[in-house]
């Protein structure tokens, strides 16, 4: 497995066609597929691993994360995500306790997130691949996840993380485009009224994180009552 970690892709050619190799795990429970996706490995290698052991797409590491979780959290290519979705579309709505490593957190922080939020294990507990893609602001990946076959993509928009936040909350707090906001609302309209464990609606999150005027207008137009809604701290979106 070290060959994967050090991106020595050529050295894996004689192993990826062996089911026993594909089923190996490291101390964190990661399979070669988890690691290849996390380290931005070649698409051809990802497809070979999936062909050799189809169950790889459903395999979970010690955090309960599938390769799709890693792909979304590590900003894998759209092609890699598409291959994983084709192999196991249901993974899009599964939760895990996957956490960002320090380098990943710095990448997220560089995109506008606060370091505290980016590195908080509690903040990402129960995240689905869709939550991760929204946190990492990977618009193309978000689109692919929402379009997952069998209706699993739309169902993922209704899954809340441990903090009670739906993907719409995460989108509102992370500068998601207006098109993304609309797509998530279309997938799960009740998201507009949903409150997290702090009593905050998506509009609260949008206002607190300085979302675009267009996005806040969409959220408030679709659910006008949210403008006056109070979170558990007594604040409405206007307070932000």
204-226 tens-digit pLDDT: 999 999 999 999 999 999 999 99
pLDDT value at position 6? Answer: 76
pLDDT band for 101, please (50, 70, 90 cuts).
low
pLDDT, tens digit, 9 for 90 and up, residues 139-187: 999 999 999 999 999 999 999 999 999 999 999 999 999 999 999 999 9
pLDDT, tens digit, 9 for 90 and up, residues 46-77: 999 999 999 999 999 999 999 999 999 999 99
The mean pLDDT value for 15-44 works out to 95
pLDDT at residue 196 greater than cutoff 70: yes
The mean pLDDT value for 26-50 works out to 95
For residues 207 and 215, what is the distance between their CA atoms, to the nearest angstrom? 10
pLDDT value at position 150? Answer: 95
State pTM to two decimals: 0.91
Which of 77, 75, 5, 78 is closest to 39 using CA atoms?
Answer: 5
Residues facing residue 127 across a β-bridge: 96
Phi and psi at residue 166, to the nearest 5°: -85, 165
Range with the lowest mean pLDDT among 1-10, 102-111, 128-137, 171-180?
102-111
Mean confidence (pLDDT) of the chain: 91
For residues 101 and 96, what is the distance between their CA atoms, to the nearest angstrom? 15
Phi and psi at residue 127, to the nearest 5°: -70, 140
The mean pLDDT value for 89-96 works out to 98
pLDDT at residue 192 greater than cutoff 80: yes
* Cβ neighbours of 116 (radius 10 Å): 10
pLDDT value at position 104? Answer: 52
- Give the DSSP H or E segment for 170: helix 167-173
């Amino acid at each position: 497995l070290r060959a994967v970690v050090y991106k020595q892709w050529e050295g894996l050619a004689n192993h990826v066609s062996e089911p026993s190799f594909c089923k190996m795990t490291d101390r964190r429970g990661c399979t070669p597929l988890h690691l290849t996706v996390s380290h931005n490995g070649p698409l051809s290698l990802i497809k070979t691993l999936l062909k050799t052991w189809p169950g790889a797409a459903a395999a979970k590491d010690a955090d309960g994360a599938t390769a799709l979780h890693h792909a979304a959290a590590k900003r894998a290519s759209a092609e890699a995500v598409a291959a994983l979705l084709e192999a196991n579309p249901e993974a899009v709505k599964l939760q895990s306790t996957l956490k960002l490593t320090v380098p990943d957190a710095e990448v997220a922080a560089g995109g506008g997130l606060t370091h505290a939020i980016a590195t908080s294990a509690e903040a990402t507990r129960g995240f689905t691949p869709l939550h991760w893609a929204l946190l990492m602001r990977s618009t193309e990946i978000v689109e692919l996840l929402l379009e997952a076959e069998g209706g699993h993509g739309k169902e993922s928009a209704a899954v809340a993380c441990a903090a009670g936040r739906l993907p719409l909350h995460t989108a509102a707090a992370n500068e998601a485009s207006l098109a993304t906001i609309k797509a998530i609302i279309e997938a799960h309209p009740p998201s507009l009224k949903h409150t997290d464990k702090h009593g905050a609606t998506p509009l609260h999150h949008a206002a607190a994180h300085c979302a675009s005027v267009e996005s806040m207008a969409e959220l408030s137009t679709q659910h006008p009552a949210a403008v006056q809604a109070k979170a558990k701290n007594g604040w409405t979106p206007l307070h932000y």
